[in-house]
Amino acid sequence: MTVTAHSTDRIAPAQRAGHWNTVIADTYFPLQLTFRDAATFQGHLERREIGPVSVSRLRTEPMQYERRPRHISGASDEEYLITIPRRSPVEFRQLGRDVRCDPGGFLLERGDEPYKFSYGAPNDLCVLKVSKPVLCEKLRHPDRFCAKVFDGSTGVGGLFTMYAQNIFPQAPPDSKSAQVLGRQLIELLALSLDAQSDADDGVRSSVRAAHLRRAEDMIRASLSNPALSPEMVSDACGISKRYLHELFSGANVTVSQYIREQRLIAARNILELPNPPPIAEIAYRYGFSDQAQFSRLFKAMFGQTPSGYRARHEGGFRKSA
C-alpha cells in the first residue's frame, strides 16, 4: 500500500497548470482549477488507498476548484469528498448553500453536483474520497450532510479528524489491515455526522434518530441469529413494530431489506479475510438457507458472485504477501 506523491517542484512553469489539473483529476475527479499565478504555483499532494477509502494530503498556494456540469455528465460513479482544512479557512458553495469551514472543522462535498471550493491563503488539507455505496452502508442519505460544516475539534468529530489525519502516515502496508482501518474510519465519520445531526431540526428529531440507531445496532449485533426479524427488533428495542417500520421508512428502506443488506455486508467482510470459510458456511451463518439465493443477492448488491469476490481478494493477498 504505497504512497502516490506529486509535486510541482520539477515541473517547468509553463507546464504547471496542465500538470496540476491532471494530478487533481486523477486523485479526486475532474475539476476546473483557477490559479492565482499558474507560472509560480507550487503544490504537493500525497495519496494512499486505505481499504475502501482514499486518503490524501494536499498542500498548495491559494486555489479555486469548480465542479461543473460538463464534469458530471460523463461520470459513472457517485463519490464524496470529506475535507479537513489544517492551515487556513476554505469557502464552499453547493446545493444553494455558502459555508466557511475553519481549521478544526470538516465538510462533505457531493461529486455528482456542481460546486465551488476555494481558499485565499496557502493551505494544508486532509481529504478523504469515499464512494456513495460504501458510505451508505453506514450512513443513510449522506446527501443531507453535504455543504454543512461539522465540528472536528471535540467529541466523536474530534476523534474522526484525528484518526483521519494520523492514519495517512501510520497505516500498515498489508491489505487486510487496510480494509479494517478504512472501515473504522468510515464508521467514525458516520458516528460523527449522526451525533451532530441530532441538533439539526431539518433532519430528524433526536428521539427518532436515537431509536433508529439503537435498532440498527441491535440488527448488526444479531446478524447470525436465524430468528432475527422485525418483531424481534421491535421487542428488543421496546418499541412497536409499526413505529419500527416508520423509522426505517424515513430512511427509504424496509426493516427486512436493512437486515438482508447488513447480512450481505457481513458476509462480504468475511470473504475479504485470508482463508475464509466455505461460501455455503458463510451463507448459513448469516441466515441464508439457500446458497443459490445468497449468490444471487450478493451479486445484485456487489456486482460479483461470492466465489468471484473471494477469488479477487485471495489474489490480492497473494500479491501483497
* The last residue of a domain, from among 174, 197, 227: 174
DSSP codes joined into one string, 48-80 = EEETTEEEEEEEESSEEEEE-HHHHTT--S-EE
Greatest pairwise CA separation for the chain in angstroms: 68
Domain-located, residue 197: no
Find the domain containing 129 and state its range. Answer: 4-174
pLDDT at residue number 95: 80
Same domain? 116 vs 221: no
Q: Is the pTM of this model over 0.95?
A: no
- Say if residues 279 and 292 touch (Cβ distance below 8 Å): no
Same domain? 99 vs 215: no
Domain-located, residue 94: yes
Domain-located, residue 179: no
pLDDT at residue number 206: 64
Same domain? 50 vs 163: yes
Residue entry with cell 450532510:
145
Q: Could you tell me the three cell numbers for 313?
A: 481478494
Same domain? 139 vs 249: no
Closest to 51 (Cα-Cα) out of 184, 156, 158: 184
Q: How far is CA 55 from the centre of its chain?
A: 10
Helix (H, G, I), strand (E, B) or coil at 172: coil
DSSP codes joined into one string, 11-26 = S-GGGHHHHHHHHHHH
- Number of Cβ within 10 Å of residue 176's Cβ equals 16
Domain-located, residue 60: yes
> Which CATH number belongs to the domain containing residue 75 in this structure?
2.60.120.10
- Say if residues 99 and 67 touch (Cβ distance below 8 Å): no
Same domain? 147 vs 227: no
Same domain? 17 vs 141: yes
* The last residue of a domain, from among 151, 174, 197: 174
Same domain? 114 vs 237: no
pLDDT at residue number 169: 78
Q: Report the number of distinct structural domains present in the chain.
A: 2
250-275: buried (b, 16+ CB within 10 Å) or exposed (e) per residue? eeeeebeebbbbbbbbbbbebbbeee
Same domain? 69 vs 159: yes
Domain-located, residue 122: yes
Distance from C-alpha of 167 to C-alpha of 161, rounded to nearest angstrom: 10
Distance from C-alpha of 115 to C-alpha of 31, rounded to nearest angstrom: 10
Same domain? 37 vs 99: yes
The pairing of beta strand 123-131 with beta strand 53-60: antiparallel
Helix axis angle for 241-249 and 230-237, nearest 10°, is 100
β-strand partners of 81: 109, 129
Same domain? 107 vs 30: yes
Same domain? 23 vs 134: yes
HSE value, Cβ hemisphere, 13 Å, CA-based, for 120: 4
* The last residue of a domain, from among 156, 174, 192: 174
Domain-located, residue 247: yes
Same domain? 259 vs 303: yes
pLDDT at residue number 201: 46
> Which CATH number belongs to the domain containing residue 244 in this structure?
1.10.10.60
Q: Tens digit of pLDDT for each residue in 287-307?
A: 998 899 999 999 999 999 999
Residue 263, C-beta contacts closer than 8 angstroms, at least 6 positions apart: 223, 286, 287, 288
Q: Outline where 106-254 has alpha helix (H).
A: 132-136, 155-170, 175-197, 206-221, 230-237, 241-249
Q: How far is CA 31 from CA 108, 194, 267, in A?
A: 16, 29, 37
Domain-located, residue 216: yes
Q: What is the pLDDT along the chain (321 residues), one digit of tens a residue?
A: 578 999 999 999 999 999 999 999 999 999 999 999 888 999 999 999 999 999 999 999 999 999 988 888 777 778 999 999 999 999 999 887 889 999 999 999 999 888 999 999 999 999 999 999 999 888 877 888 888 899 999 999 999 999 999 987 776 677 788 888 999 999 999 999 887 765 554 444 667 777 888 899 999 999 999 899 999 999 898 888 888 998 888 666 899 999 999 999 999 999 988 888 999 999 999 999 889 999 999 999 999 999 999 888 765 544 443
Domain-located, residue 193: no
The pairing of beta strand 53-60 with beta strand 79-85: unpaired
